Chain A
Amino acid sequence: MTWVLANLEQILELSLTHLRLSLLPIVLGFVIAIPLGWVAHRYRLTRGLILTLVGLLYTIPSLALFVVLPPLLGTPFLSEANVLIALTIYAVAIMARSTADALASVDPDIQQAATAMGYSSWRRFWVVDLPLAGPVLLAGLRVVAVSTVSLLTVGVIVGVDSLGYLFTNGYQRGILASVLTGVVVTVLIALLLDRVLALLGAWLMPWTRAGRASRRSRVAQPSQLVDRAPATVGTGVQGSGA
Chain B
Amino acid sequence: MIEFRSISKRFDDGTLAVDDFSLVIPSRRTTVFVGSSGCGKTTLLRMINRMVDASSGALEIDGENVSAIEPVQLRRRIGYVMQNSGLLPHRTVIDNIATVPRLNGVPKRAAHERALELMDTVGLDRAMAKRYPSQLSGGQQQRVGVARGLAVDPNILLMDEPFGAVDPIVRAELQQELLRLQRELGKTVVFVTHDIDEAFLLGDQVVILEKGARIAQRGTPEEILANPASDFVASFVGADRGRRALSIREVDGARVLVDADGNLAGRLVDRPAEASAS
Contact = CB atoms under 8 A, between A and B. Distances in A.
A and B found bound together? yes
A120 B125 contact: no
Contact of A117 (B76, B83, B131): B76
Given A119-B103, A230-B128, A235-B140, A113 B135 contact: no
Given A117-B103, A239-B139, A112 B90 contact: no
A115 interface: yes
A210 B135 contact: yes
Contacts of A120: 72
B132 interface: yes
A78 interface: no
Contacts of A236: 169
A107 B86 CA distance: 9
B173 A239 contact: yes
Nearest to A215: B134
Given A211-B132, A230-B128, A239-B170, A116 B72 contact: no
Given A117-B99, A131-B90, A239-B170, A112 B137 contact: no
Interface residues of B, number: 41
B123 A205 contact: no
B86 A210 contact: no
B82 A231 contact: no
A72 interface: no
Interface in B105-138: 123-125, 127-128, 131-132, 134-137
B173 A118 contact: no
Interface in A64-115: 107, 109-110, 112-115
A115 B128 CA distance: 25
Contact of A118 (B72, B84, B88): B72
B193 interface: no
B80 interface: yes
B173 A117 contact: no
B75 A128 contact: no
B7 interface: no
Given A110-B89, A207-B134, A118 B139 contact: no
A230 B76 contact: no
Interface string A190-226: 0000000000000001110011001100000000000
Contact of B137 (A110, A118, A211, A235): A235
A211 to B, nearest CB: 4
Nearest to B177: A242
A101 to B, nearest CB: 18
A230 B126 CA distance: 11
A240 interface: yes
B130 to A, nearest CB: 10
Interface of A: 107, 109-110, 112-120, 123, 128, 131-132, 134, 205-207, 210-211, 214-215, 230-231, 235-236, 238-240, 242
25 contacts: A107-B89, A109-B84, A109-B86, A113-B87, A113-B88, A114-B88, A115-B51, A115-B75, A116-B86, A116-B158, A117-B75, A117-B80, A119-B72, A123-B103, A128-B88, A134-B90, A207-B134, A210-B135, A214-B134, A230-B125, A239-B123, A239-B170, A239-B173, A240-B173, A242-B124
Interface of B: 49, 51, 72-76, 80, 82-91, 99-100, 103, 123-125, 127-128, 131-132, 134-137, 139-140, 143, 148, 158, 169-170, 173, 177
